[in-house]
Amino acid sequence: MIQHRFYNHKVDSFSIVLWELITGLLPFKSMTAVQAAFTVVNQGVHPPIPADCTPALAHIMSRCWDANSDVQPGLMLVVKMLEQACEEIMTTVQHARFWDVDVWQCLT
């Protein structure tokens, strides 16, 4: 939308929310929202995937942030990817930062 290009149903912005949940931080905190949006669109910059991120969640973020919109998943595919990653997430994540493990029921 910023570059007046066709905007589709792909969910690259979902990864920012996922990144925020994993890190507990605000991305691009030294920038205004407009500066951050232009940086992402014009320079392809995204926050770094955290080193302690599970491979499944890292894969979801990298797919959502792919410069090729054909590779970016739609929301329904993201949901399926999260469902498939559920066991890895539950057995790998040592400490949930924002949710009680009893509340996170593996999307089932």
Mean pLDDT: which of 23-32, 64-73, 95-104 is highest? 23-32
> Is residue 30 scored above 90 in pLDDT?
yes
Tell me the H-state helices in 1-108: 14-23, 33-43, 55-64, 75-92
Question: pLDDT per residue over 35-58, tens digit each?
Answer: 988 888 788 889 999 888 889 999
Tell me how many domains the chain contains.
1
* Cα–chain center distance at 86: 15
Determine the pLDDT at residue 6: 53
Determine the pLDDT at residue 93: 64
Instruction: Determine, yes or no, domain membership for 80.
Output: yes
Question: pLDDT per residue over 71-91, tens digit each?
Answer: 889 888 999 999 888 877 777
**Over pLDDT 90: what percentage of the chain?**
22
Taking alpha carbons only, the member of 96, 32, 27, 107 closest to residue 61 is 27
Instruction: Determine, yes or no, domain membership for 4.
Output: no
d(CA 78, CA 61): 10
In the chain, the amino acid numbered 65 is W
Determine the pLDDT at residue 14: 83
> Is residue 29 scored above 60 in pLDDT?
yes
Domain range spanning residue 29? 14-92
Instruction: Determine, yes or no, domain membership for 100.
Output: no
Cβ-contact 64, 15 below 8 angstroms: yes
Instruction: Determine, yes or no, domain membership for 97.
Output: no
Mean pLDDT of 21-34: 90
CATH number at residue 31: 1.10.510.10
Helix (H, G, I), strand (E, B) or coil at 39: helix
The counts of H helices and E strands in the chain are 4, 0
Contacts of 7 (CB under 8 A, 6+ apart): 1
